Amino acid sequence: MAEEKKAGGAPAAEKKKNGRQTSAQKRDKQSLKARLRNRSFKATVTTAVRSFEDAVAKGDKAVMKERLSALYSLMDKGVKTGRYKQNKAARTKSRLTVKIA
């Protein structure tokens, strides 16, 4: 995203003469870092869901409960840090819990 802005028509406002960044540049940099953190976390959750579904397919109750517990923990951490909305986490946990029964 930042590269696209710089590659576009008008040159982006680079650093000022004294070496400081504008607040917009700082915010852009912060949002890119946050985006990468959020994507990484969501990829971890997706992998955990996939491993849970594999355990369900195999029918191993002990592994299912262990993986479901790990998923609950990940989803709750995601809500706590603002990566997921509370209803999204509740809905996901509910749907996964039904698969055990």
In tens digits, what is the pLDDT along the chain, a chain of 101 residues? 555 555 555 555 555 668 888 999 999 999 999 999 999 999 999 999 999 999 999 998 999 999 999 999 999 999 999 999 999 999 999 999 999 88
Tell me whether residue 37 is in a domain: no
Task: Kindly report the pTM of this predicted structure.
Answer: 0.75
Give the number of domains in the chain. 1
Residue 44: inside a domain, yes or no?
no
- Does 101 map to a domain? yes
27 in a domain, yes or no?
Answer: no
Whether 11 is in a domain gets the answer: no
Residue 83, token pair as written in the block: 């990566």
* 88 within a domain of the structure (yes/no): yes
In a domain, 82, yes or no: yes
| pLDDT value of residue 15 | 59
Q: Which residue range(s) make up the domain with 82? A: 60-101
Q: Vertex 28, ends 27 and 34: CA angle to 5°? A: 85
Q: What is the pLDDT of residue 101?
A: 80
d(CA 101, CA 87) in angstroms, rounded, equals 22
pLDDT of 21 reads 87
- Determine, yes or no, domain membership for 33: no
